[in-house]
Amino acid sequence: MQTYIAMLRGINVSGHKPVKMERLRESFAALGFGNVRTYVQSGNGVFEAKAAAPAAIGARIAARIERDFGFSVPVMVVTSEEMGRVVKENPFLKEAGIDLSRLHVTFLSEAPGAPGLQRLGALPAGADRLACRSRSVYLHCPGGYGNSKLSNNAIERALSVGATTRNWKTVTTLHQMASSEQSSPDQT
């Protein structure tokens, strides 16, 4: 069995696409996933499944969500090992005095091509900074992510790939959950 992390995009935002985490865990279990845990209401799940391509697992989850909840939602899936690399490779952590609450990671459905990276580099970032590594875009937004021009939608448009963004606390918590056999600190 392999440990995976699923991140759903756009659920429970301003009352749109409501998904209770208990029902999400039930949906994951109905897919045959084991040791299913969730973290916060934004749709983050950690689970075990037979080894398969993360994109294939994401497609299965998306189809199940549409069946169980009646709407489609993009789903990004990474292995626990990939999440470990994402945490380890954050270039902004090397900077002294970096405010961790201003760090985010945008997870991409696939590695972007050179034209997309050029478009991404041309986005008006202001004081915000980004660094792209494989299927992740690291963001440092000193004025807050809500004020950033480097939004999830802007990154998706520039790179022409699907994406979902998580703050650094969520990224590190999901990594910890995937690295341990323990229950989630927040199964809401």
Q: What is the mean pLDDT of each run of 10 residues along the chain (188 residues)?
A: 94 82 95 96 93 95 96 95 97 95 97 96 94 96 95 96 96 96 48
The CATH architecture one would assign to domain 84-171 is 2-Layer Sandwich (3.30)
pTM: 0.92
- Backbone dihedral region for residue 22 (phi beyond 0: left; psi -120 to 50: alpha; all else: beta): alpha
pLDDT, residue 181, reads 57
Write the DSSP symbol of residue 95. S
72-87 b/e with 16+ CB inside 10 Å = b?
Answer: ebbbbbbbbebbebbb
Q: The domain 2-79: what is its CATH number?
A: 3.30.70.1280
Structure token pair of residue 63? 């189809």
pLDDT tens digits along 57-106: 999 999 999 999 999 999 999 999 999 999 999 999 999 999 999 999 99
Domain ranges of the chain: 2-79, 84-171
152-159 helix and 114-121 helix, angle to the nearest 10 degrees: 140
Can 2-79 and 84-171 be said to share one CATH topology? Answer: yes
Strands 44-49 and 2-8, sheet pairing? antiparallel
Structure token pair of residue 147? 């004020």
- In this structure, the number of other CB atoms found within 10 A of the CB of residue 16 comes to 9
pLDDT, residue 42, reads 81
